[in-house]
Chain A
């Protein structure tokens, strides 16, 4: 088949450069590796909206002026920002997950997978960073603009929705894009709890074949490319949302 010929060609060409991609010709390892890419992309595709929605909710709580909403979120944001994500993930998986298993009568009944815990921990971690950026943006909206909106008859939620968040989002967009670039990189912590994203899959391959450099080149190129795309999209959104005569 054409496909296999191409793979063979690639393997032999890169082989002459001193790189080792022989595993591509096997069924099993190549499959793990391909699934690794897909898992990473899947994680990123889920995490970006999860982090943004949770970040927005956190920011709304932080600026609500209601102590029972802002205090727990503030505590969560502080803990999340100041502790390593890897430790949070271990803690969630080894402690919280075990607790859930006990609660539902054994691990076999526990619907929460390692994949779930990566999405929850990384998503909420980045959400905490988004929340800080958005909160700062919301607080930068002049009190007089908010009062004018109240005077017109908007409810607090409507003011948030139509005035504060649109303005805060514009102001915090550069910070949010930075957070998303970190998010992409942070998906690799999944390998600590055996989520077979790309680094986990690559480690599986290189422990067998001793081709660390060859695998590393691909991983680095892969993440660079994704983040190039994230940054580009960020820039595009920023340009689209730019308001004439408004200095943000």
Chain B
């Protein structure tokens, strides 16, 4: 094992979080190493999105430690400190959530110019490079409403990358897409991971998770009940719940077709 303390970029230790009376995270321990891709899988409502939101300080846990590259996220008290963290941690959501009144280019340029103070020319240059990377160079002047879901999601990824984040969180970024556009988004993410971007992905695309992950984490009911290499989780899990879940959702196989009836 090459996991050393210095190599960890994200570390969650015994994180507990409740919304009102509902306990959503019941002691989460998770370590993500620099340059790794970690997939979080598990049933709906098990707390996957909440884990990502904690890492980005969009929600605050009641107890536990969260460290992102030496920043103690759980101890941030001021909004300005949380903003400083969010500049370093990109997040992409299921619903893309582009700014509908801005062109694709302006969607990408807005944050670097207004938050980082990058000058417009430089920000535009980077934006065009990123659009090239997500294969949307010709859509720079289109508005989000004129793009397909898959195209919008790729713009959303470019928007996150424009902040030059240290790590990117992907929350079910293909779940709202038409099946034929899922592939183009996964392709972009695969490229990013190959380039060494540290990524945490919540996903239901099991084959993709198996292909690109260094570690797969299985959550259920606010706990991580198993984690390991893709091989371990998808093919030799000890935990019967994990085995049941991955066989039930393992993509376009016969098991799922049977269940779907």
Which residues from chain A sit less than 8 Å from chain B, CB to CB? 142, 144-145, 147-156, 158, 162-163, 166-167, 170, 241, 243-247
Once the chains are docked, how many angstroms separate the CA of A145 from the CA of B80? 20
A155 touches B145 (CB 8 A): no
Return 24 A-B CB contacts under 8 Å, by A number.
Answer: A144-B95, A148-B98, A148-B156, A151-B90, A152-B111, A152-B115, A152-B159, A152-B163, A153-B83, A153-B86, A153-B87, A153-B111, A153-B115, A154-B111, A154-B114, A155-B80, A163-B99, A167-B100, A241-B101, A243-B101, A244-B143, A244-B146, A245-B146, A246-B101
Residue among B91, B101, B163 with max Cβ neighbours from chain A (10 Å):
B101
List the A side residues contacting B83 at CB < 8 Å: 153-155
Interface residues on B, range: 20 to 34
Give the Cβ gap from A213 to chain B, nearest Cβ, in Å.
Answer: 49
Once the chains are docked, how many angstroms separate the CA of A247 from the CA of B58? 29
List the A side residues contacting B147 at CB < 8 Å: 245
Q: Which of B91, B115, B156 contacts A154 (CB under 8 A)?
A: B115
Once the chains are docked, how many angstroms separate the CA of A158 from the CA of B83? 12
Known: A154-B115, A155-B79. A147 touches B145 (CB 8 A): no
Q: What 6 A-B pairs come out closest when comparing CB atoms? A: A245-B145, A148-B97, A153-B86, A245-B146, A151-B91, A246-B145
Q: Which of B99, B100, B143, B145 contacts A149 (CB under 8 A)?
A: B99
Which residues from chain B sit less than 8 Å from chain A, CB to CB? 56, 58, 79-80, 83, 86-87, 90-91, 93, 95-101, 110-111, 114-115, 142-147, 156, 159-160, 163
List the B side residues contacting A151 at CB < 8 Å: 56, 58, 86, 90-91, 93
A145 touches B97 (CB 8 A): yes
Known: A151-B93, A152-B160, A162-B110. A145 touches B99 (CB 8 A): yes
Give the Cβ gap from B254 to chain A, nearest Cβ, in Å.
Answer: 35
Give the Cβ gap from A17 to chain B, nearest Cβ, in Å.
Answer: 52
A148 touches B93 (CB 8 A): yes
Residue among B97, B143, B159 with max Cβ neighbours from chain A (10 Å):
B97
Once the chains are docked, how many angstroms separate the CA of A151 from the CA of B58? 7
Known: A144-B93, A155-B79, A245-B146. A167 touches B101 (CB 8 A): yes
Give the Cβ gap from B53 to chain A, nearest Cβ, in Å.
Answer: 8
Closest A-chain residue to B100, C-beta based?
Answer: A246
Once the chains are docked, how many angstroms separate the CA of A246 from the CA of B147? 11
Once the chains are docked, how many angstroms separate the CA of A148 from the CA of B100? 12
A243 touches B100 (CB 8 A): yes
B101 touches A166 (CB 8 A): yes
Closest B-chain residue to A146, C-beta based?
Answer: B97
List the B side residues contacting A163 at CB < 8 Å: 99
List the A side residues contacting B95 at CB < 8 Å: 144
Give the Cβ gap from B56 to chain A, nearest Cβ, in Å.
Answer: 6
Give the Cβ gap from A9 to chain B, nearest Cβ, in Å.
Answer: 54
B56 touches A245 (CB 8 A): no
List the B side residues contacting A149 at CB < 8 Å: 97, 99
Q: What 9 additional pairs, Cβ within 8 angstroms, besides A150-B86, A152-B163?
A: A144-B95, A145-B97, A148-B91, A153-B86, A153-B111, A158-B114, A162-B114, A243-B145, A247-B145
Closest B-chain residue to A170, C-beta based?
Answer: B101
Give the Cβ gap from B54 to chain A, nearest Cβ, in Å.
Answer: 12
List the A side residues contacting B142 at CB < 8 Å: 244
Once the chains are docked, how many angstroms separate the CA of A144 from the CA of B99? 11
List the A side residues contacting B87 at CB < 8 Å: 153
List the B side residues contacting A152 at CB < 8 Å: 86, 90-91, 111, 115, 159-160, 163
Closest A-chain residue to B171, C-beta based?
Answer: A151
